[in-house]
Amino acid sequence: MENVNIHKTAVIHPGAKLSPGVSIGPYSIVEGNVTLGDNVRVGSHCVLTGQTTIGRNCKIYTGAVIGSAPQDRKHSADDNVFLNIGENNVIREYVTMNPGTLDGGGKTIIGSGNLFMAYSHVAHDCVIGNNCVMANAATLAGHVTLEDNAVLGGFSAVHQFTRLGRLSIVGGCSKVVQDVPPFAMVDGHPVKVIRTNVVGLKRSQISEKSIKLLNKSFKILFRQGLTKTHAIEKVIAEVEASPEVEHLVFFCKTSERGLCS
């Protein structure tokens, strides 16, 4: 293995694929079906296992367990399942991530530029976009989707098959049992829509006009007591179209678990 830095106490299976610039700290274990991209940094006492691929420039801190078997009673050790992690992710202390299950398509997929704070958990068959944040001890059950730039507060728990929309933010210690709309700020037990995520929208350079259109859409969807179908129809009829409004409408139309109130 050329141009890699492996501590003498680390245990690396000869079948593991390590790209140039990889660094592995003391007492960490890398098993045979793991692939590490360029410049991946692995701290001490980490376990990288399963059919796991980790993209370049990811940083993995002490005690993380990445790729261990899904916590699903139907899973068999012989199942051909995967965990695919993109580039430039920061995976902090004691984070756990599981691969997919056969029933869920066989893959857990994580994009790029995400921050997983200490003790957070990504369960089987989750799909996480880019530039998301999971704060300390936030937990995703199986089959959860996080769209780009979603933020999940510390100690929050997300029910299986739930979606968190783009640029949404969930307050700490929240219970998420239904879909969180894009661009929303939600909080509670279970969560309720508070307002649009104005700070996140501005940081993402969404125009003031689009923010005003989203505010109008949110009032119709969540403040007028309409059914979901009627509220969506009213948004389409009364709110000027913009990429953000169109994404919000599409998300709401395709919600299977229902939207948080």
Question: How far from 62 is each of 47, 79, 83, 96, 184, CA to CA, in Å?
Answer: 10, 28, 19, 11, 33
Catalytic residues: 124-125, 142
**Cβ atoms within 10 Å of 224's Cβ, excluding its own:** 10
Quote helix, strand, coil % in the chain, to nearest 5. Answer: 20, 30, 55
- Token pair 């994580």 is found at 110
What are the residues whose beta carbons fall under 8 Å from the beta carbon of 57, sequence distance 6 or more?
Answer: 37, 38, 39, 40, 87, 88
What is the DSSP pairing of strand 145-146 with strand 151-152?
A: unpaired
Q: CA torsion sign, 202 to 143 to 94 to 26?
A: negative
**Cβ atoms within 10 Å of 88's Cβ, excluding its own:** 16
